[in-house]
Amino acid sequence: MMTNLFSVFDPSAIFNFSLNWLSTFLGLLMIPSIYWLMPSRYNIMWNSILLTLHKEFKTLLGPSGHNGSTFIFISLFSLILFNNFMGLFPYIFTSTSHLTLTLSLALPLWLCFMLYGWINHTQHMFAHLVPQGTPAILMPFMVCIETISNIIRPGTLAVRLTANMIAGHLLLTLLGKTGSSMSYMLMTFLLMAQIALLVLESAVAMIQSYVFAVLSTLYSSEVN
């Protein structure tokens, strides 16, 4: 049962070819078409969302952040949001439910931030290991704690996104597999529960993409 349950996350169980990961880049084909057409309410809404994110990320980056610095985090938000939503549709591979993708996004960003910080702002990075007001006797322990918390940041970013995507898809799969053995009344309640869970998963898809982008922005602002 567990093998069949988790097989929804197996690329080889959905298609006979290993081209499932190409679904990650479907947005490159669909999103540009928005700007080729006449402005619509969806286009205006999406542009307003991007403008709001640009202002918020620019605030988080502080005075050291440039206008172009926010574009990488907005692109990251758009990529994760699109893949999270696409995974809610039937027979579409959910790439964000795999550490292969989430860790590939989090680890290079974290490495770039660390290399930039330690090369250009070495004293600031050393000072960041010991919070202000720490007693002298606790300084060695705080250095160890801050170092460990800094090292596990890409892992927590990747695991948080992956775990939330897996949890919602597992619940939807469990509810879908139990419907055939129920009565008509119970199936009605089950369908309502699935719709409510689908709405919840849509909210989770937006929240997790936003959290991933915001935390990446905060990690970037700490090295400046």
In the chain, what are the domain boundaries?
Answer: 7-223
Whether residue 184 is predicted with pLDDT greater than 50 in this model: the reply is yes
Q: What is the DSSP string of 23-66?
A: GGGTHHHHTHHHHHSPP-HHHHHHHHHHHHHHHHHHHHHGGG--
pLDDT at position 34 is 55
Do 223 and 114 form a contact (C-beta atoms < 8 A)? yes
More confident residue, 33 or 193: 193
Do 165 and 97 form a contact (C-beta atoms < 8 A)? yes
**Token pair for residue 219?**
């990690």
* 2 confidence band (pLDDT: 50, 70, 90): very low
SS3 91: coil
pLDDT at position 31 is 61
| pTM of the entire predicted model | 0.81
